[in-house]
């Protein structure tokens, strides 16, 4: 019978921890994204970066959405270098907190 309150308490703590961890979203306007192979190259480079939790690419708009975990900060200079290393040009970047 003591296991039920312990299990319930554990579940509440786990859930509350998941809702607190937010992070940051970076929307990158990238020149040169034309095909899935291009997308794979930049996605692979960005996913290797510490703190990056996901990368989504919209080829039609030339936008790369990078999500970083709580506490991970990526500045424009770092993102510009990563995009350049992948063979592309970063034109602009916007940053916003994740909900």
What confidence tens digit (pLDDT) does each residue in 24-41 have?
A: 999 999 999 989 998 999
Q: Which residue range is the domain that position 81 belongs to?
A: 22-97
- The whole-angstrom separation of Cα 1 and Cα 87 is 60
Predicted TM-score (pTM) of the model is 0.76
Q: How confident is the model at residue 9 (pLDDT cuts 50, 70, 90)?
A: very low
Nearest to 90 by CA among 99, 34, 69, 81: 81
CATH of the domain at 80: 3.30.70.100
Q: What angle do CA 57, 82, 73 make, to 5 degrees?
A: 85
- The whole-angstrom separation of Cα 67 and Cα 85 is 19
Q: How many domains does the chain have?
A: 1
Domain presence at residue 34: yes
Task: Name the E strands within 1-99.
Answer: 24-31, 52-58, 63-68, 89-97
pLDDT, tens only, 47-64: 999 999 999 999 999 999
Contact 44, 24 (CB under 8 A): no
């Amino acid at each position: 019978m003591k296991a039920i309150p312990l299990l319930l308490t554990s579940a509440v703590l786990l859930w509350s921890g998941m809702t607190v961890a937010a992070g940051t979203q970076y929307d990158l306007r990238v020149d040169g994204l034309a095909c899935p192979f291009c997308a794979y190259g930049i996605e692979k480079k960005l996913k290797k970066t510490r703190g990056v939790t996901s990368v989504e690419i919209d080829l039609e708009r030339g936008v790369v959405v990078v999500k970083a975990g709580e506490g991970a900060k990526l500045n424009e200079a770092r993102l510009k270098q990563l995009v350049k290393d992948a063979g592309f040009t970063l034109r602009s970047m916007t940053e916003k907190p994740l909900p």
